[in-house]
Amino acid sequence: MWVQQREYKAVGAALAAARGRARLTQQELAKLLAKPQSFVSNYERGQRRIDLLELLRIADVLRENPLKIFQDVVSRTKTRQQKR
């Protein structure tokens, strides 16, 4: 089974929630990551895949425990699967 684009939305939503807890805008986070704002927007909408090392870097910049973000992704993925 290959990962569907809609499942990447769970990753994006979890990262957006972490950004919200950090009280940062997409633009502020992008600046801290030395990336364009569209980078943040694209992964938060599930349009861009994030690899593990990128997730760790984002978590570090947000000062968020990456395990908390990962648990959120798992929870959101299970919720999506149950709705099918």
| Domains contained in the chain, CATH given | 5-83 (1.10.260.40)
Q: Which two tokens stand for residue 22?
A: 């950090």
**pLDDT tens digit sequence for 16-45:** 999 999 999 999 999 999 999 999 999 999
Give the whole-angstrom CA distance, residue 49 versus residue 44: 10
- Looking at the predicted structure, is the pLDDT value of residue 83 above 70? no
High-pLDDT (> 70) share of the chain, % = 89
Mean pLDDT of 66-73: 96
- Nearest-5° Cα angle at 37, 15 to 41: 45
pTM, two decimals, is: 0.87
User: By C-alpha distance, which of 26, 48, 23, 52 is closest to 37?
Assistant: 26
